[in-house]
Structure 1
């Protein structure tokens, strides 16, 4: 970069200094080898002038705002890249510079005379102002003066940036930015990354509406600046776009092994809401700045529950839900209402819906499997019938592999026989009431035997309920008509009892204890035909 040139106004002596900060000791004209377009700002700092370039460099001219004893002020000249010179002037109090280009050739001799002792570049430049302007410039400097040139070819340069725009807003659809600003300035809208997303102009009434290249509907922060015709750029004003965009649904969801925490990823700084299958909120929290979250639940979820997780942003937009299934570490309840069919082929019962049923024998061998239906019922066919009173164990297994406690059920025993191997015994404890013999070939089931020790000779049962009193079998084939035993020890030959009360004429005394009423022997000379005692009493 070229050197800075400093011209002492009182002597016309010029000195050069390396580009950087300088300190003025006399009232001077300072030429800076920089263009107006390269300047970001020119600010007064006490007695000093601070020039800030757009590159970030600064040049401080100390004592620039000190006025000499003769009332002369320091002046500033800029040299553009093409060699043209701009003479700066300012008013008091300081509010910025106005630059005038040193333009057309005019009365060079007069300018040179007025600028005796002044460097050629300044004489040339002053000559371009015209004689009157040149003399005034050298005599009085820029302090207290107005703009540059009052007609002809004088050009006024503006280094004052517009005020920042105001009343900013973004349309609901995110496509337009509205606001107010300095009339006829250019509006530039940039996103948070510094990309220009819209430009426009402030109208003569100070209002503007700038269309954006794509909608801003996610709460984006936009910067809006105004640039005047001289290229001065205002300080930016920020505006937030409306947020009508819901966050993306959360991802990478997981439930901890103990069922107490749900973790995942989502839009930073959104609110996480976790609900159970019934829509009840069971946990809330925040997504961190790194996009991760871990939310504590109100109580453990460890039975395979399905949970819904949503994200809500600051504008109240709610994401679509993402689902996550809790781990299932809870075994089903043991099956109930077990029964084995009479033929031993099927085991039925009740249990947790949609679990698997396993039936095992006493040795632990699986003999049947199946499934509990949606209503909690099952009916499982066994590999082979179980009809011998076997004990079976039945368990349920859920989708997570949790196995219930076993429930036992005993099959029917179809090999069990009647208590007697022969015909059924009579139900009563007494003798048969009928006159006929039992139809079976077995003895009566009652505990009372016939009172006599000998079997009845007849084929018919006794009609009376008492046993025969004698110890001998009846000779006749008919049952005794009376209810008393024969008084004699011998069987009657006839079937009729003796008619008399006397002793028989035979040699055998009657068996009764009463003697014959008469003292005589029987009238007949014949003894009784039978050899047995009379059957009557």
Structure 2
């Protein structure tokens, strides 16, 4: 989407527009950031002017060919290569280009005070500044020059590293990065030279001056510091233009959680039970939900070397969802039983894969042989 500036020829009011359809209600100068080489075709459709670009985009300027009550017409201007600008001129039903040194050449002329002559409006500075006509040099007839642009709407922020938008930044999402990326959506009306400022939970500010490339993209990425483990990252943004600073955006948040969960497995021979104790409530990667006792059973008996039969039972501690009790039923009573929770077979709520935990024990009570010797 193109960034276009519309300047009222009489009041010099300036509006920045990011839409593909522009509706004029006054004779205006339409200043684009395009070059004529970007244009495939310019056509007239009734009172409208349609610009078809090489990249497939189309811009429609409604009422372009309508004259105002004093006969003023609108003018379309492109970026120049030799001179500062190139004006679109309409002759014999076709568009051509004319070189311009400054936009003031397109403004109406008025009767000179006390001379009866004519000349350019005295409060228009010659030349051009980025984004539109220069500020007024003085006042004449109540005209004090171009008005300040309006304060823009707040930008929008999104923590890019939080890829699943779950409010947690895990080890996989952060990786070896030294900063967190914040995507800031630029509000309509922003121009090159405006400043986006991102602020984190500590009040630290990260300013970024917008370029035309940023404006064309509609967004910009700002890198912020990674908070400490377990800390809540909170980011907001404002945009400052010539009219002032916007309100603060709605925040985006994510907690840094990069430490992998662990599990310990112990055996109590007095009870004949194993205890599988996770550091966090274990999440099944296949379902995205907490493990059930039946799923823990399937996990530990699926490996033949564990020597666990189908009559093995698993229960969860009613007061602690991180702790499971396993009562083994060995396939081969003459062999040891192993309880193994493999690495990556479970996750914490942040999506960090868990580390391995295992233990092996002889769960078969020893036998006692008694011999009776007759007297």
**Is the TM-score greater than 0.5?**
no
**TM-score, normalised by the number of residues in structure 1:** 0.30
RCO greater where, 1 or 2, for CA within 8 Å and sep 6 or more? 2
Higher fraction of strand: 2
TM-score, normalized by length of structure 2? 0.40
